[in-house]
Chain A
Amino acid sequence: MKKCNIYLNFVNSDNFDDSDNQAFKDVLAHSEQCTDCSFDRKIRENMLCQLANTPEPNYPTNLHEIAFNDAIDKKTESKIDTDWLSNLIIGSLKPIEIGVSFACIIMFVFLFQINHSSDNSLVVSENNQPTGLQKMKILEANENISEDGLQKVSSEEVKEFLAKLEEFQRLHPESKTSVERNRPIIRLVGDKR
């Protein structure tokens, strides 16, 4: 069952005051008949009673010393000075703070851009394993290469090329090591990896 809020809604309304008016008397009369409102009223009246009878705090023994002596003798001058000094420091640090924050944002945006712009190169060395995004790009690129796009080479042409290479190495023995190191791996269609 929904709780009755007649009493609470009345006393919580913006323009309610404790003055004796008929509308409030009617609400109080209702609260005597209604369990919900009777409970709310009890809490509210108890709360106001406690507030009115809140005991005085324990006044510190040095209250006068702090309120008068310290306030007048010491604090007046130093407070103004420290306020002035701290305001100056805070004021001068503010632009630096903003500048550093701004630089960080620019740096972040810049690094983010670089990451995206280098995706097209797809250069992967053995020591530099591709990232997840790069792997996806490589797969995508491989899928785009159809077998028709590869040039077919006959075994005679391969033999001829190797013979020419051997002849070159014989004439230029000093370049053999570098040539071997830089020789491209030829992979034909259908070759197993």
Chain B
Amino acid sequence: MNKQEETKELLEIIKNGDKNSFDKLVSLHEKDVYRVCHRFFNNEEDALDATQEVFIKVYRYLDKFEERSSFTTWLYRIAANTCLTIAENKKKEKEGLLQTMISWWNSFYQPTPEEIVLDGENRVINHKIVTDNIAKIPEIYRIPLILKDMEGMSLDKISEVLDVPLGTVKSRLNRGRAMLHDKIVARGN
């Protein structure tokens, strides 16, 4: 039985009142959710918080899930929205004076030579520079980039997950890629 079939069966059991099977549903999808969240935040703490939040929402709204879209589409939508909300809340916290001063102080930090991973001759890009810089891209462009270029999701499915037109997915993806490209080139110079 593949993952999709197993999910479908578990959903049936849960909807028939066996809430204990929710444990198995979480086990089946927790790594996917955590991976997307980790790629979004690039740190374990926020990724864990987001993962927990996602499954709280899944548990709370599972009754309302209609099988018009697939469960994974619905799950990724919750994950994307949760990441965006957490990022937004963190941004508001950072707007405090103390945080502004810390950011100002941190702006003087310069990367050490070991951190500059663009090789002068071959221009080889280390995956660390890529993942580090993804976290610096505006969230709205970051999500399609993660789903398409890291998770290998089709543009149509991303459009369904994010509930935006295909054209919007394309433009956000290409802008996200352009930003990442610029950051990598700027860092290598």
The residue of chain A having its C-beta at the shortest distance from the C-beta of B145 within the complex is A51
CA distance A76 to B149 in the complex (A): 34
A residues near B23, Cβ cutoff 8 Å: 68
A residues near B155, Cβ cutoff 8 Å: 17
A60–B52 CB distance below 8 A: no
The residue of chain A having its C-beta at the shortest distance from the C-beta of B51 within the complex is A67
CA distance A68 to B59 in the complex (A): 9
A17–B125 CB distance below 8 A: no
B56–A76 CB distance below 8 A: yes
B177–A60 CB distance below 8 A: no
A64–B170 CB distance below 8 A: no
B171–A76 CB distance below 8 A: no
Does B13 sit at the interface, judged by CB under 8 A?
no
A75–B130 CB distance below 8 A: no
SS of A interface (majority): helix
CA distance A7 to B145 in the complex (A): 19
A12–B26 CB distance below 8 A: no
B residues near A70, Cβ cutoff 8 Å: 52
A67–B174 CB distance below 8 A: no
Does B55 sit at the interface, judged by CB under 8 A?
yes
B residues near A63, Cβ cutoff 8 Å: 30-31, 34, 48, 51
Question: Which A1-39 residues have a C-beta within 8 angstroms of B?
Answer: 8, 11-17, 39
Question: Which B51-88 residues have a C-beta within 8 angstroms of A?
Answer: 51-56, 59-60
B174–A43 CB distance below 8 A: no
CA distance A67 to B35 in the complex (A): 13
CA distance A15 to B38 in the complex (A): 28
A44–B177 CB distance below 8 A: yes
A52–B149 CB distance below 8 A: yes
In addition to A39-B123, A76-B60, 11 A-B residue pairs with Cβ atoms within 8 Å of each other are A17-B170, A47-B177, A50-B127, A57-B47, A59-B31, A60-B48, A67-B30, A67-B52, A68-B26, A72-B22, A79-B56
